[in-house]
């Protein structure tokens, strides 16, 4: 394996042996050494062996070892000759981040912040096996959620029609088919609509701490000291079940596809099984869009009730970071229809792009990049170069440098006390889950964002500082 330093923020792995394409890592020298400590690079190279891959396999700066693809892995496959792989999407289908701007500043909530956070904690279902959905669904109503996503949630009464134009794909992936999802998956999901889950999922109240581009921030509806609600979660047990179901199904099918890792089990995109998985994945993604819609609207209602005032809101954007999308991209001067896998990577389309929402067409699509618990988060916007360099993709967060078990052994409760001293209210069902997610278990989000900017993939628009965090 030969790694070549292209620039301070780009490192290439040359094509050799049976690799079909080279690989590229967006990183710096310091993070590269950390990446080498697990199977991340091995998993990145494994992607290059998959049939139909075009241009190169990519790793974002928050990349680390995952299942199949590394977290932070991006790869695009020719729609006619390529494959689709559940391991390139992940178990938490359409895990994503929603940013909602509130019509109030920090000074308006400061005296009642603790009361607000406690109310949000009580009214937001959380935990790995939570069956306490905000809005349980089943039968035809669940099928509507799976088919129409956030639009179905708005129809029920969670949010407003205007929200939909500020969600990736308007909150609904076309091609979803509820009949391709198992009854077990539906049973799990129906009990969890409007729930955070566990792990790194969260509900936060942040404040706009710094603005880097006033014009773009204004277009996003953001100003200094404004409060922003962040929601990070996905398709819950439904998506997990769908991923597991199709991995098992694909392992019993032989299309003559040789993969270097059984976690990369794949089928041709246009095969019967490929189409079925894609339809099930789209339905799972729609569930996730609806899930974040329900959680955020319930949170806004709760804030209104505690403060006894009509707090208005403006959805900035809702993006997913575990997904496969059919998109057109220019490869070697030719427009190609591709299936782009983004595993722990966020779409960041630039100004003027036809898939950038109309409301943001002149400035570019917002890309919400959360930090670790207690650290800054950022809202960025893609550059025109991002389409050429990474199929319109950037990082999805800070990225772990330490597994949960090691974090439990390495950090003590005084870490949480330190966060409280910094004025951050943190609530969670257990101390264990908090210790697993402490900032020290993650890469420095400022370094991640500096790499994204240094590689000319995106620009910072605003920085957000957390003041209240609810962990799953």
Q: Report, as residue numbers or ranges, the catalytic residues.
A: 396
Q: Are 201 and 433 in contact (CB under 8 A)?
A: no
Q: Which two tokens stand for residue 47?
A: 């992607």
Write out the two tokens for 292.
């974040």
Instruction: Kindly give, in sequence order, each residue whose CB lies less than 8 Å from that of residue 301, ignoring residues fewer than 6 positions away.
Output: none
Place of tokens 């069956």: 131
CA distance 97 to 81: 32
For residue 261, how many other CB atoms are within 10 A of its CB?
Answer: 16
Antiparallel, parallel or unpaired: β 83-84 and 267-268: antiparallel
| Distance of alpha carbon 156 from alpha carbon 150, whole angstroms | 10
Residue 86 · residue 241 · CB < 8 Å: no
Dihedral sign of CA atoms 347, 353, 355, 356 in order: positive
CB burial of 205-238 (b: ≥16 within 10 Å; e: otherwise) equals bbbbbebbbeebbebbbbeeebbbbbbbbbbbbb
Q: Which helix (H) or strand (E) holds 184?
A: helix 183-190
Q: What are the φ/ψ torsions at residue 38 (nearest 5 degrees)? A: -130, -155
3-state secondary structure of 97: strand
Beta carbons of 230 and 92 less than 8 angstroms apart: no
């Amino acid at each position: 394996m030969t790694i070549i330093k292209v620039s301070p923020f780009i490192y290439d792995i040359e094509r050799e042996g049976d690799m079909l394409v080279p690989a590229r890592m967006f990183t710096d020298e310091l993070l590269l050494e950390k990446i080498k400590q697990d199977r991340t690079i091995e998993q990145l190279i494994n992607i290059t062996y998959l049939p139909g891959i075009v241009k190169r396999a990519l790793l974002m700066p928050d990349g680390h070892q995952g299942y199949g693809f590394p977290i932070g892995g991006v790869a695009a496959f020719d729609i006619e000759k390529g494959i689709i792989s559940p391991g390139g999407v992940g178990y938490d289908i359409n895990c994503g981040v929603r940013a909602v701007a509130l019509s109030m500043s920090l000074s308006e909530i400061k005296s009642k912040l603790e009361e607000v956070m406690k109310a949000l904690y009580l009214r937001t279902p959380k935990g790995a096996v939570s069956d306490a959905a905000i809005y349980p669904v089943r039968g035809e109503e669940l099928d509507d959620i799976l088919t129409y996503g956030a639009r179905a949630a708005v129809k029920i009464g969670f949010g407003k029609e205007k929200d939909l134009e500020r969600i990736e794909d308007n909150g609904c992936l076309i091609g979803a088919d509820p009949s391709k999802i198992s009854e077990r998956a539906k049973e799990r999901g129906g009990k969890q609509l409007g729930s955070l889950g566990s792990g790194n999922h969260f509900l936060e109240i942040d404040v706009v701490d710094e603005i880097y581009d006033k014009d773009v921030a204004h277009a996003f509806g953001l100003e200094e000291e404004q409060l922003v609600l962040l929601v990070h979660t996905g398709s819950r047990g439904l998506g997990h079940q769908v991923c597991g179901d199709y991995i098992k199904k694909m392992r019993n099918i032989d299309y003559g596809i040789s993969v270097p890792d059984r976690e990369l089990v794949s089928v041709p995109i246009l095969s019967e099984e490929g189409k079925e998985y894609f339809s099930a994945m789209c339905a799972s993604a729609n569930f996730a869009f609806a899930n974040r819609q329900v959680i955020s609207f319930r949170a806004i209602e709760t804030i209104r009730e505690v403060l006894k005032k009509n707090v208005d809101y403006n959805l900035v954007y809702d993006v997913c970071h575990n997904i496969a999308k059919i998109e057109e991209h220019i490869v070697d001067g030719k427009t190609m229809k591709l299936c782009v896998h983004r595993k722990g990577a966020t779409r960041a389309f630039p100004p003027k792009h036809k898939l950038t929402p109309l409301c943001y067409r002149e400035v570019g699509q917002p890309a919400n990049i959360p930090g670790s618990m207690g650290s800054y988060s950022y809202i960025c916007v893609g550059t025109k170069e991002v389409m050429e360099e990474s199929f319109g993709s950037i990082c999805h967060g800070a990225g772990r440098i330490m597994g949960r078990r090691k974090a439990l052994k390495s950090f003590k409760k005084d870490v949480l006390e330190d966060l409280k001293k910094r004025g951050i209210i943190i609530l969670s069902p257990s101390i264990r889950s908090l210790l697993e997610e402490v900032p020290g278990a993650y890469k420095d989000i400022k370094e991640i964002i500096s790499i994204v900017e240094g590689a000319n993939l995106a620009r910072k628009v605003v920085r957000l500082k957390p003041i209240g965090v609810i962990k799953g």
